[in-house]
Amino acid sequence: MRERRGRLSDEERRCLSARIGDSLPGFLAPVSGMAVSAFHGMDDEVDTIPWLARLHERGARIALPRVVRAREPLAFLRWRPGDTLERSRFGVLEPKADSELLDPDTVIAPLLAFDRQGGRLGYGGGFYDRTLERLRRSGHARRVVGVAFAFQEVPAVPMEATDQRLDAVVTETGPVLMNKPVG
């Protein structure tokens, strides 16, 4: 999937990312007052910042993830357009450590691949799975939405007992609701 995403030109990535951003606010409605966590797309990922700024303008409280320590859940820290971000040891842009902590109502998760059963293939660190498990257990993260390009859909993602499922994915063709198995 990384190779396929890497073949997109910058213009194709911007255009497809904008189409994802056009669908997202309506799918998340109502937005005002909602705490939404997302991620700062990097390299060949979906470009999230333009539509995060639009969600902020519509009254959403936006948080970006920050790695606290290896094998621990992520912290979601408040972000506003124009805030200075720091590059982590993984190369990801994150809010400063002293930013306000937010527990999101909706988590917008990065992924490499997804399936129609809510399976999400991440980047192998388990950060999102640990974080989603903690948030769901505490009554937060009532909705987990992946954002991806449509070609990232696969027939089946291998799942382990600790993997957290998505409720939906928004692609440039619109929202994909999941048919999650019971149990």
Please give the mean pLDDT across all residues of the chain: 89
pLDDT score of 65 more than 90: yes
Q: Is the dihedral of CA 37, 111, 5, 148 positive or negative?
A: negative
Q: Are 140 and 118 in contact (CB under 8 A)?
A: no
- Residue 183 in any domain: the answer is no
Q: Kindly state the average pLDDT of the residues 71-86.
A: 92
pLDDT one-digit tens code per residue, 137-169: 888 778 899 999 999 999 999 999 989 999 999
| pLDDT above 90 coverage of the chain, percent | 57
Residue 182: inside a domain, yes or no?
no
Segment 91-147, tens digit of pLDDT: 888 999 899 999 998 999 999 999 999 999 998 788 899 999 999 988 877 889 999
Say yes or no to pLDDT of 32 above 90: no
What pLDDT band is residue 182 in, cutting at 50, 70 and 90? very low
Q: What is the CATH number of the domain that holds 172?
A: 3.40.50.10420
Residue 73 lies in a domain: yes
Q: How many domains does the chain have?
A: 1
pLDDT of residue 183: 45
Q: Is residue 144 part of a domain?
A: yes
Is 75 a domain residue?
yes
pLDDT score, position 126: 87
Residues 133 and 98: beta-carbon distance below 8 Å: no
**Where in the sequence is the domain holding 55, given as residue range(s)?**
2-177
* pTM strictly above 0.95: no
Distances (CA, A) of 89 to 17, 70, 93, 94, 126: 26, 11, 10, 10, 16
Q: At 88, give phi and psi (nearest 5°).
A: -80, 175
What's residue 42's pLDDT? Answer: 81
pLDDT(26) > 90 = no
Residue 55 within any structural domain of the chain: yes
- Let me know if residue 63 belongs to a domain: yes
- Residue at 81 is within a domain: yes
d(CA 168, CA 119): 10
What is the percent of the chain with per-residue pLDDT over 70, rounded to a whole number? 98
